[in-house]
Amino acid sequence: MTQQQNGQVAQGSKETASAVKPPWNALWVLALALAMIVLDSSIVNVSMPTMIREIGLNLTDAQWVTSLYNIILAALLLPFGKLGDLKGRKMTLQVGVVVFVVGSVLAASSNGATLLLCARAVQAIGGALVMPSTLSIVSASFRGKNRAIAFGVWGSVMSAAAAVGPFLGGLLTGTIGWRWIFLVNVPLGLIVFVSAIFFVPKTGGKAGASAMGAAAQKLAAADASKSAAKPDGFDPLGIVLSALGSAFLLFGLIEGQTYGWAKPKGDFGMFGFKWGANWPISVIPICIVLGIVFFVLFIHTENSRAKRSLPVMLDLTLFRIPTFAMGNIAAGTIQAGQFVIMFVLPLYLINVRGLAMIPTGALLATMGLGSIVSGGLAHPVTQKIGAPHTVQFGLIVEVLSVIILMVMMRPGVSVVWLLVPFVLYGFGLGFAAAQLTSLVLSEVPIAQSGEGSATQSTVRQLGTGVGAALAGLVLSVMVTHIAPASLQGVHGLSSQLVSSLTTSLDASAGSAIVGIRAQGIHGKLGVLGPQVVDAMASAFTRASQWTLVAAIVLLAIGLIASIWVARAAKRDEVEA
Domain parsing of the chain, residue ranges: 22-201, 235-312, 319-576
Cβ density class 27-41: b for 16+ within 10 Å, e for less: bebbbbbbbbbbbbb
Q: Report the pLDDT value the prediction gives residue 405, as an integer from 0 to 100.
A: 94
Crossing angle (nearest 10°) for helices 145-175 and 322-347? 20
Q: Report the pLDDT value the prediction gives residue 263, as an integer from 0 to 100.
A: 85
Crossing angle (nearest 10°) for helices 495-507 and 529-575? 40
Number of Cβ within 10 Å of residue 411's Cβ equals 10
> What's the gap between Cα 489 and its chain centre?
40
H helices present in 308-446, as ranges: 322-347, 357-385, 387-408, 419-441
User: CATH topology of 22-201 equal to that of 319-576?
Assistant: yes
CA pair distance 176, 186, nearest whole angstrom: 16
Closest alpha carbon to 155 in 4, 423, 318, 371: 371
To the question of domain 22-201 being in CATH 1.20.1250.20, the answer is yes
Q: Report the pLDDT value the prediction gives residue 399, as an integer from 0 to 100.
A: 94
CB 328 within 8 A of CB 455: yes
Q: Report the pLDDT value the prediction gives residue 576, as an integer from 0 to 100.
A: 53
Query: Which residues, other chains included, contact 318 with Cβ-Cβ below 8 Å and sequence gap of 6+?
Result: 324, 444, 448, 451, 452, 455
Mean pLDDT by groups of 10 residues along the chain of 576 residues: 41 41 81 87 76 77 77 85 84 94 94 90 93 85 74 75 79 86 92 92 63 45 49 79 89 82 78 76 91 94 89 85 87 88 87 84 81 74 79 91 93 89 88 78 79 83 83 89 90 87 85 87 85 92 94 92 79 59
What CATH code would you report for 319-576?
A: 1.20.1250.20
Give me the amino acid identity at 529: G
